[in-house]
Structure 1
């Protein structure tokens, strides 16, 4: 049995390595197709491209391994079945379970190694290739200016240069179109280009130029003169050295930057993700309490109730808070001040004679039409403001929930992808023993279809979990849950030398029983 185990492992290693590199090549091509616009025409060195592909390959390994395991197990067992070696092994008293035992040990070892690799190595690889892509996209800043042609890559500006040498250029013309009521043109003989540290602004350091500003529409101070429409006020300013700042919020580079670094959960291991999730849940609970308290203190009913309880009725300490960040900062200040104070006995609520309190009550029937209309307008405005506030709070809560779900999805993804290697092996190996077709013909087609089903399932599960339709755990483990009974059924069919698709035989037996009864 030891020699047979070595024989099975040797038979498995060759197809596994071949299919692994083929799978990795396909995934890398998919990556290059996605980022082809950022990589082409940049004059990148070969070493940078090799480094990028190295880190990308490491991050794609958990996706390439399941496909490689599926395809190699199909090929190995298909070759054994096609050459009748599998039949000879079964006739000698070996069951399919004993035949697959050495390969199962190898696959389990690969699955465990994949988990540790995805937990400790892939976060570093993700950070590295994200950084390289961002650096390449930063280089795009100097490449969007094409000599002799206007470029409109930055929203609201048209820029033209005559010649360019690195970050230096000559004869630049900048048309500022952000204000539709005026025409603004900046000309300079030479200049330099650089970016702010935070990446939000682009600076042109210009030399020997002028700024021309002209209104598009003539103002009405010309009176009734016939030629007043042809007079457009303007001004011209000369400069020796000037720095012109452009907002890059509409530049494509800014969008790419957000996409690169917003998914920081990809750069953490399971222990860091678990710690982050606990911290996010605590912060979310505190934020929910503050938002609830902020909403209640603005309501007249609770203001009057607090007044009767001896509290200030209308002094809303959160009334000047306009954002969640300010709300959290104000709450933290109150907590720090509360800790510094000495412990005092809570004063008893002051007794208030409710009969002496004046709560104005108005009846619409006793109001004039003008006051009634004004009251309705005030109520509508107040209601709209309350609705906007509540919608803003709901958006904050939804964003926090989604952020929390992303971390939970990544946590379960690391386990689910590693476990899928074992599941797909028990799908591919029995199926290869059943179809008894080796080589790269039928097994490749079958493996591609099965992996497509698996990929569709995990994509749907990821999307539904990200949207909050199903829990993150079910979204990531759902494909494995669906494929597990299929793997068990295939394994049982291979052990009993029966075809997995036995529906025609069932229909024939049912038809025979029906004819016999007739």
Structure 2
């Protein structure tokens, strides 16, 4: 490797890893904010929290890696152009293509590594992350009760003034309202000076022990009076069992997340897609056969005389021969049959659409592994020539351009994937939509930079617009002078 190639590669790699580390840390902090509800107040040790974030961090690679390549490219080539190093290279007969040669090889290697990581490491990490999150939520059912506020557990509202003890299992000043589910009225109040939570890690049942308390219950009477009777009793030890799994909606969310295609590699996705396609074709065939069978049965149940010669006649002429009650019955039966057919067709159509969306999600996940790898190349060929054009290094202007370009890329990518998953466009086009839109930008910037058009200033990019505005302004000024 020549000295120039080593110098360019070293400058880019240092900038790239610095930017990657900073952005990766920022995105992981954003993940902590998203899942703060799962982590806070769970009495988790440092190792458990570290493993949680460690399994979550690979999800950030598709976001951080392209942005890091883009920003590092703009900063590196912006520094070269700002310090007139490109001018020195050009005077020595070294073109921009020659200066980018070592970095192109590095980006290809980086794209291959990112593809391997997304295909092999990220799915396993996603699987462990989802299961670990489920364990954190459900091995601590006592956390369903928080101190200092009312906690809604179905028909119960519980407030605890303080939780203390080694595992926050001891309670002080417990107030409990029991809601009547028939009329949604609160007529039972339980108060206790102290309490204790008893749980089992393998069970969602929370056993609540209350000590030294009172039990109040209003009695409903037929007479309306300002003085309503009530029942009051004292207790030394009162035990309640609460199934907190009935009130925890996160399990349904986790089951939905765990069934996504993000936990599969390419071979598993291909096998799953093939199986889903075959199941969908078989279901469509079964539904078509069922519709034919229902039509045949409906026609076979229609009364007809085999000796009658059939003619084409109007329905009104047949109904004239029936009595009013018989007409009502015929119309009612026809409406019922039509509604039944419509209901079956709608349900079958919705079921097929859901299966198609499920297949589309797998196709998008498969294409996304290639898109992430190609996005590194795309961002490099946008950032490197753009940095040479704007002639600015550092974190100022390059950061502005990088954020604008990446936000555009990420928005189009998210929009395309959602549209493809909802069967609006094909999964291939939805997954590659952002790449197809930004690819002309990469080609344009690379062409201008390699042709020395705008390599010293961004004014050449704006020259057609400024020239058009100057021409319009001059024409308007001449017209005013002539008047």
> When the two structures are superposed, what TM-score results if normalisation uses the length of structure 1?
0.75
Q: Secondary structure at the match of 1:297?
A: helix
Q: Secondary structure at the match of 1:439?
A: coil
Q: Does the CA-based 8 Å contact 2:139-2:201 persist in structure 1?
A: no
Alignment of 1:178 with 2:181, yes or no, is yes
Q: Secondary structure at the match of 2:462?
A: coil
> Counterparts of 1:215 and 1:389 in 2: how far apart (Å)?
50
Q: Which runs of 5+ in 1 are unaligned?
A: 219-225, 308-312, 315-352
Q: Does the CA-based 8 Å contact 1:405-1:466 persist in structure 2?
A: yes
Of 293, 303, 327, which residue of structure 1 is paired with 2:297? 303
- TM superposition shift of 1:132: 2.2
> Counterparts of 2:136 and 2:72 in 1: how far apart (Å)?
37
Q: After superposition, give the CA deviation of every residue in 1:47-96 in whole Å (9 maximum; x if it has no partner).
A: 12221222222231222111111111111111111111111101111111
Q: 1:4-153 counterparts in 2 under 5 A?
A: 4-139=4-139, 141-146=141-146, 150-152=150-152
Q: Does the CA-based 8 Å contact 1:158-1:174 persist in structure 2?
A: yes
Count of matched residue pairs? 452
What is the match of residue 252 of structure 1? Answer: 249
Instruction: Return closer, same or farther for 1:427/1:227 CA change in 2, 3 Å cut-off.
Output: closer
Of 393, 400, 410, which residue of structure 2 is paired with 1:455? 410
Instruction: Return closer, same or farther for 1:241/1:381 CA change in 2, 3 Å cut-off.
Output: farther
Alignment of 1:262 with 2:259, yes or no, is yes
Alignment of 1:158 with 2:161, yes or no, is no
Q: Secondary structure at the match of 1:151?
A: strand
Q: 1:28-427 counterparts in 2 under 5 A?
A: 28-139=28-139, 141-146=141-146, 150-152=150-152, 154-159=153-158, 166=167, 173=176, 175-180=178-183, 192-194=198-200, 202=205, 204=207, 244=241, 246=243, 248-263=245-260, 265-299=261-295, 302-303=296-297, 354-355=306-307, 363-427=318-382
Q: After superposition, give the CA deviation of every residue in 1:446-479 in whole Å (9 maximum; x if it has no partner).
A: 1111111111111111121122111111111111
- TM superposition shift of 1:213: 9.8
Q: After superposition, give the CA deviation of every residue in 1:17-62 in whole Å (9 maximum; x if it has no partner).
A: 1111122122212212222222222232111222122222223122
Q: Does the CA-based 8 Å contact 1:191-1:205 persist in structure 2?
A: yes
Moved more, 274-283 or 379-388: 379-388
- TM superposition shift of 1:375: 3.3
What is the match of residue 334 of structure 1? Answer: none
Instruction: Return closer, same or farther for 1:254/1:155 CA change in 2, 3 Å cut-off.
Output: farther
Moved more, 202-211 or 73-82: 202-211
> Counterparts of 1:55 and 1:431 in 2: how far apart (Å)?
35
> Counterparts of 1:64 and 1:137 in 2: how far apart (Å)?
28
Of 459, 463, 476, which residue of structure 2 is paired with 1:502? 463
Of 445, 448, 456, which residue of structure 2 is paired with 1:493? 448
Moved more, 35-44 or 13-22: 35-44
Q: Does the CA-based 8 Å contact 1:195-1:202 persist in structure 2?
A: no
- TM superposition shift of 1:191: 6.6
- TM superposition shift of 1:372: 2.7
Instruction: Return closer, same or farther for 1:185/1:287 CA change in 2, 3 Å cut-off.
Output: farther
Q: Secondary structure at the match of 1:192?
A: strand
Q: Does the CA-based 8 Å contact 2:114-2:373 persist in structure 1?
A: yes
> Counterparts of 2:158 and 2:52 in 1: how far apart (Å)?
32
